[in-house]
């Protein structure tokens, strides 16, 4: 272990210990506590960079399959426990985090002009994780232009659109709006109460409402047609942003079995049906007064079961055990809509130069969505799978340049493409 590694461990330890003391209610000056937490985590993230810079630029790093933190060892279980406990406290026992919330008062007042709360703390940690692990990804992927571009995109969207802008709006006494999300990922965005709230907030509220509808009904179909779901899942979405940065060390943990694929198709489409039905019922109730008890129960169930337990506690808490895309793969209703379009009505596909495949399986191992890429590569079949988020990892880890992410007319999945010219390892089409 190098000196830099040791210092990184010490910095992270100081930050974690400060969080623990704050949660335990040990009084400390908020400014000092905040500096120790944010500074400690940021320093730890920066101090590990030399370790990545010393290794070749690659998706797969030495030791990933053996390290306790990334191979479901004791460290991974401990991390999952801490993350799950933090999520559970944020959702259901916010009072337990009062000490931690107090540490963030100086930042909340400086940024938002109001007291801190558990969601501000959560958003700040989330953004710090995307930023710090994003810098790590930039170093790790330094020779891969596609990965660098999508990492910069998710870092910018999270920091500016999902953290700084909502905070600024709060400071200006406006509603806290998130322009990078819409229904059904923001599940109550189209609920009557939210629509009314936006209409009550004048031009800005109306703009947010119109933008949300346009994002769902015009921007999404258009961009998905040209670029596949990757434009959102790997470049814009906050859940995808966290998965592609903080979740990057866990991409090999996704289950590539046929059984998992079958479960995935049932669960993700069930969640989509559930939110469509819930939204329809709350509107029915609002307009006719009919079905109040059912719509209330469904809305409560969705908020608790899907919004909190599935997307938060399981979706992020279990990163070190199940991989970073559990929510995106098995639950996200936005991904379900994007996936249906990608599967049937999009120019995006991964083209396969099957004759060059040596069946090493790297592509399947590092697919964060659990797609058995090798299965298609061995058969020389283009890949058009609803779940593919276009991260490009499969193409980058392939030692033979078999795979290529493309937007354009050509063979669809199932059609055989003959052995063609050798494709360079990082020949990925950026969103242009
Ligand atoms: S198939 Fe390739 S591009 Fe698609 S999600 Fe898997 S690794 Fe990423
Ligand atoms: S990584 Fe490349 S060579 Fe290996 S199985 Fe996948 S497509 Fe074939």
362 within ligand 2 shell (Cβ under 6 A): yes
Say how far apart CA 293 and CA 14 lie, in whole Å.
49
Ligand 2, pocket-test mutation among 350, 372, 373, 380, most atoms within 8 A of CB: 373
- Kindly list the domain boundaries of the chain, sorted by start residue: 253-336
233 within ligand 1 shell (Cβ under 6 A): no
293 Cβ contact list (under 8 Å, min separation 6): none
Closest-CA residue, ligand 1 atom 6, reads 367
The predicted-structure confidence for 318-363, as pLDDT tens digits, reads as follows 999 999 999 999 999 999 999 999 999 999 999 999 899 999 999 9
- Output the tens digit of pLDDT for each of the chain's 432 residues: 789 999 999 999 999 999 999 999 999 998 999 999 999 999 999 999 998 999 888 877 778 888 999 999 999 999 999 999 999 999 999 999 999 999 999 999 999 999 999 999 999 999 999 999 999 999 999 999 999 999 999 999 999 999 999 999 999 999 999 999 999 999 999 999 999 999 999 999 999 999 999 999 999 999 999 999 999 999 999 999 999 999 999 999 999 999 999 999 999 999 999 999 999 999 999 999 887 789 999 999 999 999 999 999 999 999 999 999 999 999 999 999 999 999 999 999 999 998 999 999 999 999 999 999 999 999 999 999 999 999 999 999 999 999 999 997 754 544 444 333 333 334 444 332
Closest-CA residue, ligand 2 atom 3, reads 357
The predicted-structure confidence for 49-89, as pLDDT tens digits, reads as follows 998 999 888 877 778 888 999 999 999 999 999 999 999 99
Ligand 1, pocket-test mutation among 373, 382, 387, most atoms within 8 A of CB: 373
């Amino acid at each position: 272990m190098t000196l830099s590694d040791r210092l990184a461990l010490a910095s992270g330890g100081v930050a974690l210990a400060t969080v623990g003391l704050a949660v335990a209610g040990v009084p400390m000056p908020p400014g000092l506590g905040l500096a120790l937490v944010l500074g400690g985590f940021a320093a730890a993230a920066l101090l590990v960079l030399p370790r990545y810079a010393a290794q070749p630029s690659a998706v797969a790093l030495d030791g990933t399959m053996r390290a306790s933190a990334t191979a479901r060892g004791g460290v991974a279980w401990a991390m999952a426990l801490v993350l799950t406990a933090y999520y559970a406290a944020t959702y259901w026992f916010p009072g337990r985090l009062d000490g931690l919330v107090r540490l963030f008062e100086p930042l909340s007042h400086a940024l938002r002009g109001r007291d801190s709360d558990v969601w501000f703390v959560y958003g700040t940690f989330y953004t710090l994780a995307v930023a710090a692990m994003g810098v790590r990804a930039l170093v790790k992927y330094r020779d891969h232009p596609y990965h660098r571009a999508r990492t910069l995109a998710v870092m910018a969207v999270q920091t500016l659109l999902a953290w700084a802008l909502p905070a600024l709006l709060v400071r200006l006494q406006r509603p806290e709006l998130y322009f990078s999300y819409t229904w059904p990922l923001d599940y109550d965005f189209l609920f009557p109460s939210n629509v009314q709230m936006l209409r009550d907030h004048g031009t800005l509220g109306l703009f947010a409402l119109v933008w949300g509808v346009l994002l769902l009904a015009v921007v999404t179909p258009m961009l998905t047609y040209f670029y596949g779901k990757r434009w959102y899942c790997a470049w814009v979405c906050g859940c995808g942003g966290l998965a592609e940065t903080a979740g990057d060390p866990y991409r090999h943990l996704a289950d590539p079995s046929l059984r998992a694929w079958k479960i995935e198709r049932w669960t993700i489409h069930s969640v989509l049906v559930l939110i469509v039905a819930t939204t329809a019922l709350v509107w029915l109730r609002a307009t006719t007064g009919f079905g109040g008890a059912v719509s209330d129960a469904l809305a409560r169930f969705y908020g608790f079961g899907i919004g909190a337990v599935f997307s938060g506690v399981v979706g992020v808490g279990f990163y070190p055990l199940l991989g970073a895309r559990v929510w995106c793969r098995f639950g996200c209703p936005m991904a379900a809509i994007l996936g249906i379009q990608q599967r049937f009505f999009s120019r995006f596909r991964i083209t396969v130069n099957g004759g060059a495949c040596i069946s090493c399986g790297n592509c399947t191992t590092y697919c964060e969505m659990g797609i058995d890429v090798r299965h298609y590569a061995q058969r020389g079949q283009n890949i058009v799978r609803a779940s593919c988020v276009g991260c490009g990892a499969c193409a980058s880890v392939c030692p033979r340049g078999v795979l290529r992410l493309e937007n354009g007319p050509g063979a669809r999945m199932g059609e055989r493409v003959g052995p063609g010219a050798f494709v360079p390892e990082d020949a990925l089409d950026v969103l242009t």
